[in-house]
Amino acid sequence: MNTSRILTRRHFLKNTAIAGAVVSAMPLFNIRAQGAGRKFKIGLVGCGGRGTGATANIIEAAKSLGHEIEVVACADFFQEKADTFAKKYNVAADRVFVGTDAYHKVMAQKEIELVLLATPPNFRPVHLEAARAAGKHCFIEKPVAVDPVGARKVIALGEVAKQKGLCIVAGTQRRHTGTYLRNQNAVAQGAIGKITSGTISWCGNKLWFKEREAGESDASYLVRNWPSFLEMSGDHIVEQHVHQIDVTNWFLGRPPIAAIGFGGRARRKTGNQFDFFSVDFNYGDDCHIHSMCRQVSGCYTNVGEFYMGTEGSTYGGGKMQSAKLASLTIPEFKTHANGQVQEHVDLLNALAKGEILNGAKDVAESTMTAIMGRISCYTGQQVRWSDLMTNAESPWYNLTLAPSAANFEGGTVVAPKDDVCPIPGVA
């Protein structure tokens, strides 16, 4: 077992504190902020539910700070989605772009300084790469990849973006929510001692799905029905449960060293995903976290995180049992009640002050952690962090799911078969 990630308590506290301090103190190369009363010109790629929601969130955030947002351009796979969004946010007709290469046209708009990337996750690494090349700050929805190659690409892009003074804020809203920020700060100060175990879950109802229409192309079917296909979403342990996994990596200050899990498919009608996953994430230093996620209606539902430490326990954003808490000084984190607004408040504040806020590595590592759990459940094997991050000999290091973003752009999409999923021990 790779124990290189095992940290001493001193390192743990130091690293957790570092993980919480996301505002970089790096030299600034891209100071365009002018203080209060700025107009931020933005573009959106992916005009669906979250893209439209994130636009409303950033407008509300800007308003609360005395700034203004102008939506200059938008892009979507479907004309109708792009037009609906453009109408809502007054985007000029000649700045509404459609197709799998439409994101290039948003990036080409020189006046845009910030882009929101909210397509299905399989496109994120490629879209982020284009945004970085065009020198745009980014808001990127989670998760940020569907395979190890994509997640490593986002980590690398994030580092280069940082050097170039570009902000990247991710849609992991718990990191921008007061209750979570307070608990993470307390944990980093040792309020519950060393975390030794925990349980995290997203057990909820089934999501929406779409059936193929007569004569529909494979690309259109996959885009419309993306939450049902591994190659588009990463499966729901990645697409949805990444939120709890992200909180866990944040609270522990490190990703796990290995995962071993199981899962299965029982009730889905379309696509190729599992319905449920159960994973033991081994964080090293004798710390194990049980992760479970399920998308089956009519069952017990629970979404949240719970951690047990040597000197107490805590829920992610809830109650903490700690004899030490009263003696600690926890900063007051005054945040908007909605973390999805606060993440934009933090982004706009950083831009206005000329600071670099860059969470690409955090969200990419959380995405990779979820991918590690998924691969273990699909194959029935133990998967180590090193298998995905450093060990090029591992069978999973170069795993790239297809159809990929390049297949979509090249017009070579072949949809995977519906209702055929991996069989552990065989896959």
Ligand X SMILES: NC(=O)c1ccc[n+]([C@@H]2O[C@H](COP(=O)([O-])OP(=O)(O)OC[C@H]3O[C@@H](n4cnc5c(N)ncnc54)[C@H](O)[C@@H]3O)[C@@H](O)[C@H]2O)c1
Q: What is the Cα–Cα distance from 190 to 17, expressed in whole angstroms? A: 10
- The nearer residue to ligand X, 75 or 169, going by C-beta atoms, is 75
Residue of 86, 192, 223, 341 that binds ligand X (CB under 6 A): 223
In the complex, what is the shortest distance from the CB of residue 244 to ligand X, in angstroms, rounded to a whole number?
A: 12
Site string for ligand X, 247-286 (x = CB under 6 A): ----------------------------------------
The yes or no reply on residue 171 touching ligand X (CB under 6 A) is yes
The yes or no reply on residue 118 touching ligand X (CB under 6 A) is yes
Site string for ligand X, 70-109 (x = CB under 6 A): -----xxxx--x------------------x-xx------
In the complex, what is the shortest distance from the CB of residue 223 to ligand X, in angstroms, rounded to a whole number?
A: 5
The yes or no reply on residue 209 touching ligand X (CB under 6 A) is no
Taking residue 217's Cβ as centre, other Cβ atoms within 10 Å add up to 13
Question: Which of 151, 147, 155, 152 lies closest to 399, judged by CA?
Answer: 147
The yes or no reply on residue 123 touching ligand X (CB under 6 A) is yes
72, 365, 379 from 183: Cα distances, Å = 38, 21, 35
Token pair 């588009």 in the structure block, residue: 232
The yes or no reply on residue 342 touching ligand X (CB under 6 A) is no
Residue of 48, 256, 261, 373 that binds ligand X (CB under 6 A): 48
The yes or no reply on residue 116 touching ligand X (CB under 6 A) is no
Q: What is the Cα–Cα distance from 46 to 74, expressed in whole angstroms? A: 8
- The nearer residue to ligand X, 75 or 96, going by C-beta atoms, is 75
CB 359 within 8 A of CB 175: yes
Interacting residue ranges for ligand X, rule: CB under 6 A: 45-51, 75-78, 81, 100, 102-103, 118-121, 123, 141-142, 171, 173, 223, 239, 408
